[in-house]
Chains A and B, each alone.
Chain A
Amino acid sequence: MTATPDAIGKRLPRRDAADKLAGAARYTDDLTRPGMLHAAILGSPWPSARILAIDTAAARALPGVKAVLTGADLPARRWGLFVYDETPLAAGVVRYVGEPVAAVAATDLATARAAAALIEVDYEELAPVLSIEEALKDGAIPVHPDFDGYEKRPDLGFERVNEIARQEFSEGDVESAWGNCDVVVEGVYEVPSQSHVYLEPVSAIAEFDRAGKLTVQSANQSVYKVQATLSRALDLPMSNIRVATPAIGGAFGGKSGVTIQPLVAHLARATGRPVRLTLTREEDFMAMRRRHPAIVRVRTGAKTDGTLVARDLDIVYDGGAYAEDSPAVLGFGLLMARGPYTIPHCRLRGRAVYTNRLRAAGFRGYGNPQVTFATEAQIDELAGRLGLDPVELRLKNAVEAGGRWIGGQTITSCGLSECLTEARDASGWTGKRHRAGAGAGADAETGGKRRGIGVSAFAHICGLLGTSATVRLLEDGTVTLATGAVDLGQGAEAVLAQICAGALDLDIGRINSAPVDSDAAPYNWSTGGSRVTYMAGRAVVQAAGAVREQIVRHAAELFECAPADIEIRPGGRAGIVGVPEKEIGFGDISLRAHYRSGGPIIGSGALVYDGEAFDTKEALIRNYPFERIGTYVFGAHVVEVEVDTVTGKVDILRAWMAHDVGRAINPTEVEGQIQGGFVQGAGYALLEELLWEDGQPINPSMMDYKVFGALDLPLGLHPIIVEDPEPSGPFGAKGIGEPPLVGAAPAIANAVAHATGLRLRTLPMTPERVLDALDAAAIRDPEMPAPDRDPEPTPGA
């Protein structure tokens, strides 16, 4: 393999771009099947109620209605990720507003919806559990009275009613460490429920053939997770289930498990016809998934010189009505709670709890945005107390390659310090940080606007679970690559094709990517966890390597030399080392393999994450859901904001987002992930929050729940790619999907604190919350001092 294959590091255009720009890409709801029925659902009006009776007679009587299903019509087979607590339709009890209670299939959508509205449900309302506090108080009402009886895989240790999981990840001796700290900061941070707001609402088409095989086309992040859950829900062997993937309009974790596929499959089974269900935006908001809101209590201590000594963190995630990813979100949050710093004494504990609100699940960041908002605020609070520059304090404590993550794993590559210095230098940090900003007295000159600049540093992982790939050499020497990595719109297909092209030293135009269909694609756990480039990319390199070996063998036979004397040359040729004219094209080799000798050339690669396991001798690890996840990725953001003291609105002026991706396979795709993640994180910081009143969602629409659009953020969102090659990664590459979101909110909050002197510990920092804080500070101290500026740098220091 040449040192830098042509396809690696190139800003190549994506194959799906032209169709998407032209509106020609076909999403699930664009597809129809002969005789297809249309489905509609009826959701629960109550956050907690017993279903006494359901009268479906009027719905069934409507002409065109082919099936009406309720929970009583379905087998009592619960599924879940760790706790098997979910059913396709509410089984006897409803646990959140919007939970599907009944479903209709009819010859047209209007009839299906009209029929759903005719279903009469008799409820006995029950007292709901609507907050973390209510879930955990003494005498709390259990959201799942049958929790003890549910199957669990594994059982993750709950102690109180409504606890889905309780975990700990600790090192050192935190209790005795406080005495060694010169400064300790302490705070409680609250983060909201964010909605995924993928552009394409959840959609699925299911049908059975006459031999009993089920085919489901749907928006999903893993055909295999969907296949496995359908197998359980419908009591079918996986070999009788095909899951296919049309174009997907975003997912962000919200389509990582099953969504409505089991329900649509039951409707197809009941009617014997293909059935399509696409949720309305409101139904999707109310019945799908969200980010876990959380309450984070943190205490962090340091020495006068800035050396971090101890951290005690306790987090409670609101998991909503069903457990789904909650135990893993909690576990991953704890793994990130030390932050990318060396802190010898850490006690990191947490719980995930049930409430009668929409289930929470995986969402870009997976428990990390919650803890990192709190912990990165504390680093700045410590810097303020110690009179240290926030970037310097971070650099002083930053982990490095060869160092240890909490839990003992070796950090195999680490560009964190470079991320910090690059973001600092590109942003003009030092000048902006020390410039006398607009304190209260300066509002008159600045029109009431105060500027500030803030930083965050953070980590994530990109290595977990299993994946595989096949590479087939076609008769003409071009290649078909197959992986199980669904492309959610983020460019997975393009990046994996580039890795394949790089591994075979071929032009990208010679790589065909097979659609992800469980009937043909090799296994991949999921497009999630920022893992596709790193994990699936490694499988692609393995598979391509197996193809190279076969090509070399054929060439050696043809040229009658040793395989060691054969080299693969750019452009799809194999030749004798040192003899430029002795070479043969992949096409001729493939023809030989197909028709004369050896058989068609196929290579495969497969792996399950193989990094170091956690060291349970070093760390106290209780009820942890993972044996090994890792390969750490790093980033640092610097954000400049302007706070309007008239309205409280925070505007982002510019951001510099430095990310260590090991190696950027396609820098344009990396930059897109960085900018997109930052924008979604800015929404988390400033704007987005699903809200309930008395258990009723009050903003389940895009009129009321807003996300940032192109005009709301500046053009100056500058991605900075840092490349510290990861030895185990494909061409050194690591993941980038989630970290850009993780670092946004803390950097913005730190910038707001710099601008105003106020530490906001609750997200989102809406204009009203910021104005409340400004007003409260003005009342406390009418001569409010200038914001907490760093000390002027000492010349020569």
Chain B
Amino acid sequence: MQIFHPTTVDEVIGLLAAHDEARCLAGGQTLVAMLNLGLLDPPALISLRKVAGLDRLIRHADGGVTMGATVTQAALAAADLPGALAVLGEAAQQVAHPAIRNFGTVGGALCHADPAADLPPAFVAADARMTAIGPDGERSLSAGDFFVDYLTTALADGEILTEIRLPPPPPGSVGAYLKFARVDGDYATVSVAVTMTLENGVCRAARIALGSCAARPLRLDAADAALADTGLDADSVARAGALLQEAADPLADMRGTADYRRRIVPGLVARAIGAARAKAEAPA
């Protein structure tokens, strides 16, 4: 197995083109485990560690954020992003354990596209834009379009995720990430990422994305719409939860049966909404 240490994105793209089945190595927290288990045997690894600028988290004056793909999960967990973007930090804080977060990268977790992982639903709820660069140049996708299927993204062969852009959080926006798992550090049995914009107690807009409930983060226009322009009364919250429950198509695994996961969706959605709302109500 060859290992390369490119210093620019162009070099990475060139190496990917030159080596079929090569893999990019960022934090290695999933990739190296898979290598150790013999699940993967790529001919080449392309380390992203020396690629300039990929590990920068930039806070823009308007409140928006741009983060490079190799920003660590620990860095995101500590970033204390404002408003709706708090959903990202809360999700990052709940990824596995500190040692894993210190190495694991945001881009790596997103590109792995495990629907049970914490970051994908959070980035969907935050309405992130993903920047991909490949042989044909640069393009931008929504997080919703980025996740395609189990362990599958919209990245084409030879393309890499370089950065994620988060829009400025609107005034009055809040975010929360609620994870339900068997034990601390486990993958989610079900997780709920929510962002909302509240105005005098009225929800003007909401985005809810569920983890571990489908082949990709589960978001429904109808569920978000059920909350829009409501006071987040119990009926509206229950309606959103019921819609998501109906749309959920989870796998059964050691963390729970598909039926169990569906059953707990409405209650967890209500709790996540409650947690986000409490932030709006908390004195600044």
Counting chain B CB atoms within 10 Å of each CB, the highest count among A687, A698, A705, A768 belongs to A768
CB contacts under 8 Å to A, within B233-284, are 253-254, 256-257, 260, 263-264, 267-268, 271
Given contacts A646-B268, A647-B267, is CB(A704)–CB(B254) below 8 Å?
Answer: yes
Instruction: Give the complex CA separation of A705 and B186 in angstroms.
Output: 10
The reply to whether B268 and A647 contact each other, CB–CB distance below 8 Å, is yes
Is B201 on the interface with A (CB-CB < 8 A)?
A: no
Top 7 nearest A-B pairs (CB, nearest first) are: A646-B267, A711-B184, A704-B254, A768-B260, A706-B183, A712-B183, A647-B264
Query: How would residues 697 to 713 of chain A score, 1 for a CB under 8 Å from any chain B CB and 0 otherwise?
Result: 01100001111110110
User: How many residues does chain B have at the interface if contact means C-beta atoms less than 8 Å apart?
Assistant: 17
The reply to whether A711 and B185 contact each other, CB–CB distance below 8 Å, is yes
A646-B267, A698-B254, A767-B189 known, 18 other contacts, Cβ within 8 Å: A448-B267, A646-B268, A647-B189, A647-B264, A647-B267, A649-B180, A704-B254, A706-B182, A706-B183, A706-B186, A709-B183, A709-B184, A709-B185, A767-B182, A767-B256, A767-B260, A768-B257, A771-B260
Given contacts A646-B271, A698-B254, A699-B254, is CB(A771)–CB(B263) below 8 Å?
Answer: yes
Instruction: Give the complex CA separation of A768 and B190 in angstroms.
Output: 13
Contacts of A771 in B (CB 8 A): 260, 263-264
Instruction: Give the complex CA separation of A712 and B185 in angstroms.
Output: 10
Q: Write the chain B residue with the least CB distance to A699.
A: B254
Dominant SS at the A interface?
A: loop
Contacts of A448 in B (CB 8 A): 267
Contacts of B257 in A (CB 8 A): 768
Instruction: Give the complex CA separation of A708 and B184 in angstroms.
Output: 8
Contacts of A709 in B (CB 8 A): 183-185
The reply to whether A708 and B263 contact each other, CB–CB distance below 8 Å, is no
Can you identify 13 A-B contacts, CB atoms within 8 angstroms?
A646-B264, A646-B271, A648-B264, A687-B183, A706-B186, A708-B183, A709-B183, A711-B185, A712-B184, A767-B256, A768-B257, A771-B260, A771-B263
Q: Write the chain B residue with the least CB distance to A444.
A: B234
Q: B119: shortest Cβ distance to chain A, in Å?
A: 18
Instruction: Give the complex CA separation of A220 and B256 in angstroms.
Output: 36
Q: Number of residue pairs across A and B with beta carbons under 8 Å?
A: 44
Instruction: Give the complex CA separation of A447 and B268 in angstroms.
Output: 11
Instruction: Give the complex CA separation of A647 and B262 in angstroms.
Output: 11
Q: A771: shortest Cβ distance to chain B, in Å?
A: 7
Contacts of B189 in A (CB 8 A): 647, 767
Q: Write the chain A residue with the least CB distance to B271.
A: A646
Q: Write the chain B residue with the least CB distance to A704.
A: B254
Q: A766: shortest Cβ distance to chain B, in Å?
A: 8
Contacts of A704 in B (CB 8 A): 253-254
Instruction: Give the complex CA separation of A706 and B264 in angstroms.
Output: 21
Contacts of B260 in A (CB 8 A): 767-768, 771
Instruction: Give the complex CA separation of A711 and B96 in angstroms.
Output: 12
Chain B residues packing against A (C-beta within 8 Å): 180, 182-186, 189, 253-254, 256-257, 260, 263-264, 267-268, 271
Contacts of A775 in B (CB 8 A): 263
Q: Write the chain A residue with the least CB distance to B264.
A: A647
Contacts of A447 in B (CB 8 A): 271
Query: How would residues 763 to 785 of chain A score, 1 for a CB under 8 Å from any chain B CB and 0 otherwise?
Result: 00001100100010000000000
Contacts of B271 in A (CB 8 A): 447, 646
Instruction: Give the complex CA separation of A705 and B253 in angstroms.
Output: 11
Q: Write the chain A residue with the least CB distance to B256.
A: A768
Contacts of B254 in A (CB 8 A): 691, 698-699, 704-705
Instruction: Give the complex CA separation of A698 and B255 in angstroms.
Output: 12
Instruction: Give the complex CA separation of A705 and B255 in angstroms.
Output: 10
Contacts of A649 in B (CB 8 A): 180
Instruction: Give the complex CA separation of A98 and B184 in angstroms.
Output: 29
Contacts of B182 in A (CB 8 A): 687, 706, 767
Instruction: Give the complex CA separation of A767 and B261 in angstroms.
Output: 11
Q: A467: shortest Cβ distance to chain B, in Å?
A: 38
Instruction: Give the complex CA separation of A51 and B257 in angstroms.
Output: 36
Contacts of A711 in B (CB 8 A): 184-185
Q: A21: shortest Cβ distance to chain B, in Å?
A: 17
Q: A686: shortest Cβ distance to chain B, in Å?
A: 9
Q: Write the chain B residue with the least CB distance to A649.
A: B180
Q: Write the chain B residue with the least CB distance to A691.
A: B254
Q: A279: shortest Cβ distance to chain B, in Å?
A: 15
Instruction: Give the complex CA separation of A110 and B260 in angstroms.
Output: 42
Contacts of B253 in A (CB 8 A): 704
Instruction: Give the complex CA separation of A706 and B180 in angstroms.
Output: 15
Contacts of B180 in A (CB 8 A): 647, 649
Contacts of B267 in A (CB 8 A): 448, 646-647
Instruction: Give the complex CA separation of A647 and B186 in angstroms.
Output: 16
Instruction: Give the complex CA separation of A383 and B185 in angstroms.
Output: 39
Instruction: Give the complex CA separation of A691 and B257 in angstroms.
Output: 14
Instruction: Give the complex CA separation of A691 and B255 in angstroms.
Output: 13
Instruction: Give the complex CA separation of A369 and B282 in angstroms.
Output: 47
Contacts of B264 in A (CB 8 A): 646-648, 771
Instruction: Give the complex CA separation of A520 and B256 in angstroms.
Output: 52
Q: A411: shortest Cβ distance to chain B, in Å?
A: 39
Instruction: Give the complex CA separation of A709 and B98 in angstroms.
Output: 14
Q: B234: shortest Cβ distance to chain A, in Å?
A: 9
Instruction: Give the complex CA separation of A768 and B185 in angstroms.
Output: 19
CB contacts under 8 Å to B, within A610-659, are 646-649
Q: Write the chain B residue with the least CB distance to A772.
A: B260
Q: B19: shortest Cβ distance to chain A, in Å?
A: 23
Q: Write the chain A residue with the least CB distance to B265.
A: A646
Q: B263: shortest Cβ distance to chain A, in Å?
A: 7
Q: B157: shortest Cβ distance to chain A, in Å?
A: 29
Q: A684: shortest Cβ distance to chain B, in Å?
A: 14
Instruction: Give the complex CA separation of A182 and B157 in angstroms.
Output: 76
Q: A775: shortest Cβ distance to chain B, in Å?
A: 8
Contacts of B256 in A (CB 8 A): 767-768
Contacts of A705 in B (CB 8 A): 254
Q: Write the chain A residue with the least CB distance to B253.
A: A704
Q: A348: shortest Cβ distance to chain B, in Å?
A: 35
Instruction: Give the complex CA separation of A708 and B186 in angstroms.
Output: 11
Instruction: Give the complex CA separation of A142 and B168 in angstroms.
Output: 69
Contacts of B268 in A (CB 8 A): 646-647
Contacts of B185 in A (CB 8 A): 709, 711
Counting chain B CB atoms within 10 Å of each CB, the highest count among A699, A708, A712 belongs to A712
Instruction: Give the complex CA separation of A448 and B264 in angstroms.
Output: 12
Q: A423: shortest Cβ distance to chain B, in Å?
A: 26
Q: Write the chain B residue with the least CB distance to A698.
A: B254
Instruction: Give the complex CA separation of A646 and B263 in angstroms.
Output: 9
